[in-house]
Amino acid sequence: MALPEWLKKRAPQQELLQEMQRLLRSLSLHTVCEEARCPNIGECFTRKTATFMILGDRCTRNCRFCAVKKGNPLPLDPQEPENVAKAVNKLRLKYVVITSVTRDDLDDGGANQFAKTIKEIRKLNKGAKIEVLIPDFKGSLSSLKKVIEAKPFVLNHNLETIPRLYSEVRPLANYERSLKLLEQAKELNSSIYTKSGLMVGLGETFGEVIEVMKDLRRVKCDILTIGQYLRPSIKHLPVKEYVRPEKFEEYEKIGKSQGFLSVISGPFVRSSYRAKEVWDKISSKKIKQFSLPNLG
């Protein structure tokens, strides 16, 4: 299927990419921007933002939409939390997004490394806000607790798609389990904002997306991102539909009427896309029903 006009983007400037890549390699760090071949990499790296990917670069799951390497993961790097903190410091980031591969081979799913990374960032970068985009930890409440106790500013977990498509898109994941994780995060600490994301264009219907949005509001999810699924390679799931920009606008309108604090919906939207700006916009609205916690 040929790309429609609204999905054409200019190739990123090579010098900028290389400068950022040198910094990341010098600290043995990975970003999901590179590993998942994100179409926004030029824009985000130019603005010196990136989503750091911890727990190595190999994922133990086999999601059929994702370009991150699969296979036997390497042992954890004990320097990783400190190195992420150093990169945040060098880039002078005020808002940091940390994600990971899924590590079903680890007893805690990598929760401890998330907690350590949050603490190290905070030590070296006073006032930086930290968003974590976590895996489902196979539904382990104790793993989730470890992350929540480290007090991220935003806890993000993507549902990715509608429940009917889980077996095809995320065969080792479970819709109800993911929803439960978001619910438990709020129950454990209601002052931490929760966020989730969906890809569209995988064969879902408009009504099915609205149902997922309702499920998310039922578990008090605060922020939602919706973006177009783009096939990373011929080995990945094909795109069923290039969703028109007007439909994304419609999702945004409906989401806002359902009570989300923010809905970011558009063809190039990714879970971490302009995460800082999204937050800046929310906080400037000073929405009365949400008190703004000072978690640093």
Of 32-40, 68-76, 170-178, 236-244: span binding ligand SF4 (CB under 6 A) = 32-40
Closest separation between CB of residue 36 and ligand SF4, Å? 6
Residues that contact ligand SF4, how many (by CB under 6 A): 12
169 binds ligand SF4 (CB under 6 A): no
* Residue 225 within binding range of ligand SF4, rule CB under 6 A: no
Minimum gap (Å) between residue 167 Cβ and ligand SF4: 26
- List the one residue out of 161, 237, 252, 159 whose CA is nearest residue 200: 161
Residue 53 within binding range of ligand SF4, rule CB under 6 A: no
Tell me whether residue 44 or residue 223 sits nearer to ligand SF4 (CB atom): 44
Least Å distance, CB 21 to ligand SF4, is 13
Half-sphere exposure in the Cβ direction for 275 (13 Å, CA): 29
> Which tokens hold the place of 146?
């470890």
Q: List the one residue from 41, 85, 93, 239 that touches ligand SF4 (CB under 6 A).
A: 41
Strand order across the beta sheet in which 154-156 lies: 30-31, 51-54, 95-100, 129-133, 154-156, 193-200, 223-228, 262-265
3-class secondary-structure state, position 295:
coil
d(CA 216, CA 226): 13
The reply to whether 95 sits near ligand SF4 by the rule CB under 6 A is: no
Number of C-beta neighbours around residue 71 at 10 A = 9
Identify which range of 36-44, 77-85, 181-189, 208-216 contacts ligand SF4 by CB under 6 A. 36-44
